[in-house]
Amino acid sequence: MPFMMLLRRLHKWVGLVLGVQLLLWAVSGTMMALLDHHEVAGEHTYRTPAMSEVVQPLPLAAVQAGLPGAEIVGFKLRPMLGGHVYEVKTSDGIRLVGPEGRPITVDAELAKTVAKAEYAGDGKVSSAVRLTEPTLEARGRPLPLWRVDFDDSKATTFYVAESTAQVVEHRTDTWRVWDFFWMLHIMDYSGRESFNHPLIITVATGIAWVALTGFTLLFVSFRRMDFEWVLDLGERLRRRKKR
């Protein structure tokens, strides 16, 4: 059967070139299936901050006075650490205005306090570092960010946005392991973000070929003798029943 011969050869050769990536896809896929996604998302590391009732909110004129010259585009009056703050969207970024009408600057102390208030683990804050350059762990989040580390067994890290004083990311070692395999799976070795790039599309096309040829070859790869042990087993069971 020359056509099947050709398929077998192509299966072999494309497999030789791309087989390692198939193995990496299978291994990384297995790891992501094994790592519990609640753990990966760090759901057990934090609690959602409690809601509280708005009491005597700051008048809007005082909000505007707290941000002289700022063009207000929108705002959110929301709870923060027991009180309410205005998170104001201006035409040049987000600013926070506190209950007394003063802009709030998110420093290391405030970042730690916010992180601690949401933390549900058994560790203590070990450090708070201000980040101005993009990092893999908090990719896609607006900078600057406060990186607040906890000394628990999962090496939990909370990322607090400097503009809003909100925890925007919860990372643990489980996530870090998961993220490594995610990188292998999507083949984006620098950003770990995009799965729509030419490399992965090319390799996936090749591997689809390997899979399809392999699947076709299954139909000619089994002889009756391959199934003899199954037939034997069936025969034996039948005999046992008769007895």
Partner 1 sequence: MRLPLLARRTHKWLALVVGLQVVLWTLTGLYMTAVHIDIIHGDHFVRTPKEQPVDVSTLVEPSILASRFPGLQTVQLTRFMEKPAYVLQSSSGFALVDATSGQTLSPIDETKARALARHWYAGEGDIVRVDLITKVPLEVQTRPVPLWRVEFEGWDKPTFYFSPLTGEMIARRHELWRLFDFMWMFHIMDYDDRTDVNNPLLRTATVLAVLMSATGLWLLLYSFPKRKRKKSKAKA
Binding site for partner 1 (CB under 8 A): 12, 15-16, 19-20, 22-23, 25-27, 29-30, 32-37, 51-57, 59-61, 63-64, 71-79, 89, 91, 195-197, 200-201, 204-205, 207-208, 210-212, 214-215, 218, 221-222
Q: Which residues pair with 171 in a beta bridge?
A: 157
**Joined tokens for residue 118:** 């949401």
Which one, of 141, 144, 139, 175, lies nearest residue 157 by Cα?
Answer: 175
Min separation Cβ 19 and partner 1, Å: 5
Decide: 110 and 165 in contact? Cβ < 8 Å.
yes
Closer of 32 and 177 to partner 1 (Cβ): 32
The C-alpha atoms of residue 146 and residue 198 are separated, in whole angstroms, by: 35
Closer of 218 and 242 to partner 1 (Cβ): 218
Radius of gyration for the chain, computed over Cα atoms and rounded to the nearest angstrom: 29
Closer of 6 and 73 to partner 1 (Cβ): 73
CA distances from 209 to 10, 117, 157, 187 (A): 9, 53, 42, 19
Min separation Cβ 99 and partner 1, Å: 12
Closer of 132 and 196 to partner 1 (Cβ): 196
Min separation Cβ 25 and partner 1, Å: 8
Closer of 131 and 200 to partner 1 (Cβ): 200
Min separation Cβ 123 and partner 1, Å: 26
Closer of 71 and 109 to partner 1 (Cβ): 71
3-state SS, residue 162: coil
Closer of 41 and 168 to partner 1 (Cβ): 41
Decide: 217 and 7 in contact? Cβ < 8 Å.
yes
Cβ neighbors of 227 (< 8 A, separation 6 or more) are none
Min separation Cβ 238 and partner 1, Å: 24
Angular region, 195: left φ>0, alpha ψ -120 to 50, beta rest: alpha
Min separation Cβ 80 and partner 1, Å: 11
Decide: 115 and 125 in contact? Cβ < 8 Å.
yes
Min separation Cβ 91 and partner 1, Å: 6
The C-alpha atoms of residue 182 and residue 200 are separated, in whole angstroms, by: 13
